[in-house]
Structure 1
């Protein structure tokens, strides 16, 4: 097994809450972090930055687009947000809704300036999915019902670094298969506290 790289699964820590209080999550997510350049003391940086890590994400996820609360960004990102994959029809629908929303908002501002009546705005579903570095739990639950092909990008420090939060256990099974085939160690931990700081 490749000792220089390792992937970890662990429960989301309680000390950093990335979810608002709008609703209890219908499924509790789990966290996955990737460590590389690990020394003899088990210390090394975190992030999906190596060739093997990128190969893993390429195999697991295609057509990734991340919503960071403002815009969609293509490809795997290390920034905070919601990453959608496989089915782009949902994303395309949301992008259309966002364009309509901002176009109508501009028109309303002009109409207000000239004292004309404005049109009510329908806020796109995705618009307030993220607010002030927190995920809207109610909307995450809705996403789990309508579009399960997503994961959350967060960052834990000093342990964990760039981390993915998953709601589907099947993803972890696929990760383990990849690790066996590519000689990467993997470990299921009881707590993020079992990770080494970086």
Structure 2
């Protein structure tokens, strides 16, 4: 048996916690389990052909933020940790332009300093929102709140080895309904848990 498992989002999961920022809206996570036995044990991850087909039906073309390369990269389906967006959204293009302008300005500034021109020149561009994501992939609450306020279609991916495999975090109901619809059409079970702690370690 293969199944999608849904459970509530925990506020400190995948997100930088700050006491000065308000809590995020209620979110939810989904993961995938296959070869599930009668006791509910089985490996996790969107690894089977059925799971990959499900993802391709659920998602439009995507881009994700790569912390190492500091750029948005095309993706067909989520395959690891990161912040994912539906491609070609106007707001995502604005974020990409903000990032490009900042990186270009920094390159010019560093070049001028290298040759001793305006060595004390200060940064005039604000740090782009996407670069507020920490190197370990955690996004600050302020960034998530900003994306929600701007009605940006996005989700978080996080890869865990033993429990959950690749788990995806959403803050919009439309994504849940889309996942349920395609899971039902493909005869994939949809299971809802009260907490992530109910997942059985594999």
> Into which bin does the TM-score normalised by the smaller protein fall?
0.7 to 0.9
Pairing 1:66–2:67 present? no
Q: Report matched runs for 1:1-198 at 5 Å.
A: 4-13=1-10, 17-20=13-16, 21=18, 23-69=21-67, 70-75=70-75, 76-117=77-118, 118=121, 120-198=124-202
Q: Could you report, residue by residue, the CA deviation over 1:102-133 in whole angstroms, capped at 9, with x for unpaired residues? A: 22212111212333223623322222134533
Under a length normalisation based on structure 1, what TM-score does the superposition of the two structures give? Answer: 0.85
Q: Could you report, residue by residue, the CA deviation over 1:6-51 in whole angstroms, capped at 9, with x for unpaired residues? A: 001101347x632221522341211101111223442222122222
**Structure 2: where are the runs of 5+ without partners?**
none
On the 8 A contact 1:86/1:149 being kept in 2, the answer is: no
Number of residue pairs matched by the alignment: 194
Q: Provide the C-alpha distance between the structure 2 equivalents of 1:177 and 1:17, rounded to a whole number of angstroms.
A: 26
On the 8 A contact 2:86/2:153 being kept in 1, the answer is: yes
SS class of match (2:78): coil
1:63–1:89 Cα change, 3 Å? farther
Q: Could you report, residue by residue, the CA deviation over 1:42-61 in whole angstroms, capped at 9, with x for unpaired residues? A: 22221222222222222222
Q: Provide the C-alpha distance between the structure 1 equivalents of 2:4 and 2:29, rounded to a whole number of angstroms.
A: 11
**Structure 1: where are the runs of 5+ without partners?**
none
Q: Could you report, residue by residue, the CA deviation over 1:49-107 in whole angstroms, capped at 9, with x for unpaired residues? A: 22222222222221211113322222123322111015433333333332322222121
Under a length normalisation based on structure 2, what TM-score does the superposition of the two structures give? Answer: 0.84
- Superposed CA RMSD in Å reads 2.2
1:88–1:148 Cα change, 3 Å? closer
Q: Could you report, residue by residue, the CA deviation over 1:142-191 in whole angstroms, capped at 9, with x for unpaired residues? A: 10011331011113453211100010122222222222221111111111
Deviates more, 1:177-186 or 1:69-78: 69-78
